Amino acid sequence: MKDNPINSITVIVADGSFPEHHIPLGYLKEAGRIICCDGSAENLLKAGFVPEAIVGDMDSLSKETADRFSDRIFRGGNQDTNDLTKAVCWCSERGYTEIVIVGATGKREDHTIGNISLLTEYSKDVKVIMVTDTGILLPFLNGSEISSFPGQQVSIFSIDPETEITSKGLRYPLDNKKLKNWWVATLNESLEDSFTLEFNQGRVIVYLKFPGKEL
């Protein structure tokens, strides 16, 4: 396996829809290492990338691929977690703490929602973002200033509905707002090159849409 510096970016490929947009594909091309959940291995290979490790319960891996990469297969033992969590834990245990997740959305909606919701759990141990074909999802455990651009579409989701959030720099401000449903703070817009979310403690996920044609 390739010997990469421990502080380089690790890309984890989940078993959702394989990326098509140039931004997630760019992360793959520039990755210091690529780790894939077992179900994503076939699509990753078809796209011309080689994984440094394949992590999961191996129920979706073909025998041919398992034999070819037998030196880099790591079976996750905890059946109470999904393959993406197994992959993140595998990376964290090896000190790979700069993580970009791609391929985590699409296909089944329940998997998509579950994968996104886990971002705040991962962020307790690693620096992680999720990149899709339409935008970037960022987890926060405390308030933060977030880089953006004027006109960027922004949605905010709170895992903890009692968290009070105040915003600065958004078209539709939040003023100690409790986001008691997922739609409440969606379809907002950045006014400047950054915006700020203020909250003391909580689990918040921010979606930033890529520039380009509206969906």
The tens digit of pLDDT for each residue in 11-62 reads 999 999 999 999 999 999 999 999 999 889 999 999 999 999 999 887 778 8
> Is the distance from CB of 104 to CB of 14 less than 8 angstroms?
yes
Distance CA 204, CA 184 (A): 13
pLDDT for the residue numbered 77: 63
Cα-based angle 30, 33, 34 (whole degrees, multiple of 5): 95
Instruction: Provide CB contacts within 8 A for 158, sequence distance 6+.
Output: 165, 178, 179, 185, 202, 203, 204, 205
- pTM of this structure: 0.92
Q: What sign does the dihedral 7-140-82-21 (CA atoms) show?
A: negative
| Regions of the chain short of the pLDDT cut 50 | 1-7, 215
Beta bridge partners of 185: 156
pLDDT for the residue numbered 214: 54
pLDDT for the residue numbered 152: 97
